[in-house]
């Protein structure tokens, strides 16, 4: 099967198959637009794409994949240093930008291939080797410069087919989301998914509750920030009652938001887990139980294990926390030009070290505690999951946002420190509140009241910036 099976094979000329903001095209029209780009890219090994939220980005990505050219997405808001690093490190041979775009000046000295939405082609192109590179996605660079993650066409296909089975994702669906098009969530799941599986796509642009409510989709993707805002807009949330499935990812969904949305929409949010390096590996099923705070079971062909600091397996008892390691068909081919990073990220027997802390229950259900570096707090001999403390804080009616990290303590090694956005709740009240909800050793030793939490483009709290305070 071709990677983008549906757009490659469909004869459907209905004009609303793919809608990005206010531009819509049929499957046939998208294929012809993309083939015109593919004709211009023949012979190129890899090409950068300015990944704005527009139809030209989708056409450019599809055209490159049709040509067998690896796609290197460049965030549209990247500064000169980040942009130059991505272009140099990836060895991109050209940059795809919308025809007539004023942003072409950001790529001076580099070959430009314009994505012209007036050009069409009916060329017949052979399907590239499934082991070839589909995407080179750059990590957030929390430690050093961003690393290029090399993802094969075969890995992308395995991920999307696994999610189709888990979520009952079919051509009858209309997928709605407003996610950036330079990450796994928005680009791989949110664009390549529909183009492979045949569901229509409506990218709403900026993901406001009102735009989600008006879209009348059957399947919705969002990150916790989006879902929190929808939960705070009851009329918009109730408009999603006709949806078949609501999916949250990219960060843990607070239990309070999950409960509020269930009450307003009549739908339990499905959570899933993955990374740039692994794509999606674990998910709840559309036709199975939905358990708040958990991310479900491994997708077909994926194996997982939880280990201690010496890579020794830990019991799957639902309580013992350790590093989650994975292997399977969705894993990346390596970090570009980083053999030392490749070696460090894999065990001697070939498992990928996610760096995430998790528990696995006797029934195989996974709960992600967080990043080992910031979300597993070792305090006075106890191992404390930051997410559990955050969830407790968020049940206080005066708390709007909370992030918990471990900070140095001369006696305990680390102490539980909470950063809280609240409606003027005293710090001592929050400490006592958590102590009444959880074990006493899990209470914050310090609460810092802040106006806002630092977040990245996907809404993830950047805990490294908090811990560095």
Instruction: Answer yes or no: is 375 within a domain.
Output: no
Indicate whether 411 pLDDT > 80: no
Instruction: Answer yes or no: is 10 within a domain.
Output: yes
Closest residue by Cα to residue 359 from 368, 351, 349: 368
Tally DSSP H helices, then E strands, for the chain. 15, 25
Contact call for residues 352 and 326 (beta carbons, < 8 A):
yes
Domain coverage including residue 140: 5-190
Strand 270-275 and strand 18-20: the pairing is: unpaired
Most confident of 91-100, 210-219, 427-436: 210-219
Distance between CA atoms of residues 223 and 179, nearest Å: 8
Instruction: Answer yes or no: is 105 within a domain.
Output: yes
Indicate whether 469 pLDDT > 80: no
Q: Is 432 helix (H, G, I), strand (E, B) or coil?
A: helix
pLDDT grade for 255, boundaries at 50, 70 and 90: confident
| Residues written for the chain | 469
Look at residues 147, 173, 190 and tell me which one is the last residue of a structural domain.
190
pLDDT for 253 = 84
Instruction: Answer yes or no: is 372 within a domain.
Output: no
- Out of 65-74, 89-98, 365-374, least confident range: 365-374
Distance between CA atoms of residues 128 and 136, nearest Å: 16
Closest residue by Cα to residue 197 from 57, 331, 3: 3
Higher confidence at residue 435 or residue 366?
366
pLDDT for 106 = 73
Q: What is the mean pLDDT of residues 234-259?
A: 91
CATH number of the domain at 41, please.
3.40.50.12780
Strand 46-50 and strand 23-25: the pairing is: unpaired
Percent of the chain with pLDDT over 70: 96
CA quadruple 429, 430, 435, 436: dihedral positive or negative? positive
Instruction: Answer yes or no: is 433 within a domain.
Output: yes
Look at residues 133, 163, 190 and tell me which one is the last residue of a structural domain.
190
Q: What is the mean pLDDT of residues 216-232?
A: 93
Higher confidence at residue 238 or residue 454?
238
Distance between CA atoms of residues 424 and 427, nearest Å: 9
Instruction: Answer yes or no: is 393 within a domain.
Output: yes
Contact call for residues 47 and 92 (beta carbons, < 8 A):
yes
pLDDT for 430 = 94
CATH number of the domain at 430, please.
3.30.300.30
Instruction: Answer yes or no: is 248 within a domain.
Output: no
Mean pLDDT of the chain: 91
Q: Is 353 helix (H, G, I), strand (E, B) or coil?
A: strand
Look at residues 164, 190, 216 and tell me which one is the last residue of a structural domain.
190
pLDDT for 367 = 93
Q: What is the mean pLDDT of residues 113-130?
A: 95
Indicate whether 144 pLDDT > 80: no
Higher confidence at residue 108 or residue 230?
230
Half-sphere exposure of residue 150, counting CA atoms within 13 Å on the CB side?
17
pLDDT grade for 288, boundaries at 50, 70 and 90: confident
Contact call for residues 261 and 246 (beta carbons, < 8 A):
yes
When divided into structural domains, the chain yields a total of 2
Show Cβ contacts of residue 350 under 8 Å, excluding neighbours closer than 6 positions.
327
Distance between CA atoms of residues 460 and 248, nearest Å: 12
Q: What is the mean pLDDT of residues 189-215?
A: 97
Instruction: Answer yes or no: is 284 within a domain.
Output: no
pLDDT for 467 = 65
pLDDT grade for 458, boundaries at 50, 70 and 90: low
Q: Is 384 helix (H, G, I), strand (E, B) or coil?
A: strand
């Amino acid at each position: 099967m071709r990677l983008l099976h549906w757009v490659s094979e469909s004869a459907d000329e209905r004009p609303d198959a793919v809608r990005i903001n206010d531009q819509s095209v049929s499957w046939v029209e998208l294929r012809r637009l993309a083939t015109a780009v593919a004709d211009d890219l023949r012979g190129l090994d890899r090409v950068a794409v300015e990944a704005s939220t527009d139809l030209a980005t989708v056409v450019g990505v599809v055209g490159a994949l049709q040509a067998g050219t690896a796609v290197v997405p460049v965030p549209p808001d990247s500064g000169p240093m980040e942009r130059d690093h991505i272009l140099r490190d990836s060895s991109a041979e050209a940059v795809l930008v919308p025809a007539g775009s004023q942003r072409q000046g950001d790529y001076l000295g580099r070959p430009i291939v314009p994505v012209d939405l007036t050009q069409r082609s009916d060329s017949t192109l052979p399907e590239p080797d499934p082991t070839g590179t589909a995407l080179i996605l750059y990590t957030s660079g929390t430690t050093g410069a961003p690393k290029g993650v090399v993802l094969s066409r075969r890995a992308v296909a395995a991920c999307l087919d696994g999610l189709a089975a888990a979520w009952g994702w079919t051509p009858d669906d209309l997928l709605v989301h407003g996610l950036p098009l330079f990450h796994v969530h928005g680009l791989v799941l949110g664009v390549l998914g529909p183009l492979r599986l045949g569901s229509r796509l409506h990218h709403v642009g900026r993901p406001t509750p009102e735009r989600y409510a008006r879209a009348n989709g059957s399947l919705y993707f969002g990150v916790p920030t989006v879902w929190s805002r929808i939960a705070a807009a009851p009329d918009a949330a109730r408009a999603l009652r006709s949806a078949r499935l609501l999916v949250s990812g990219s960060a843990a969904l607070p239990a309070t938001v999950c409960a509020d949305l269930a009450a307003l929409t009549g739908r339990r949010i499905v959570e899933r887990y993955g990374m740039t390096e692994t794509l999606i590996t674990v998910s709840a099923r559309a036709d199975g139980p939905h358990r708040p705070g958990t991310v479900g079971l491994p997708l077909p062909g994926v194996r997982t294990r939880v280990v201690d600091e010496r890579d020794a397996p830990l019991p799957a008892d639902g309580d013992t926390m350790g590093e989650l390691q994975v292997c399977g068909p969705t894993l990346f081919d390596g970090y570009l030009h980083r053999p030392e990073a490749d070696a460090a990220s894999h065990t001697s027997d070939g498992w990928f070290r996610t760096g995430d802390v998790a528990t696995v229950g006797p029934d195989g259900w996974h709960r992600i505690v967080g990043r080992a570096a910031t979300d597993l707090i070792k305090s006075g001999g106890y191992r404390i999951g930051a997410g559990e403390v955050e969830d407790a804080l968020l049940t206080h009616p005066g708390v709007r946002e909370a992030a918990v990290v471990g900070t140095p303590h001369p006696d305990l090694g680390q102490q539980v420190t909470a950063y809280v956005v609240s409606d003027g709740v005293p710090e001592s009240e929050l400490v006592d509140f958590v102590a009444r909800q959880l074990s006493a050793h899990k209470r914050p030793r310090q609460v810092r009241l802040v106006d806002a939490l630092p977040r990245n483009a996907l809404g993830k709290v950047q805990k490294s910036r908090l811990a560095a305070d």
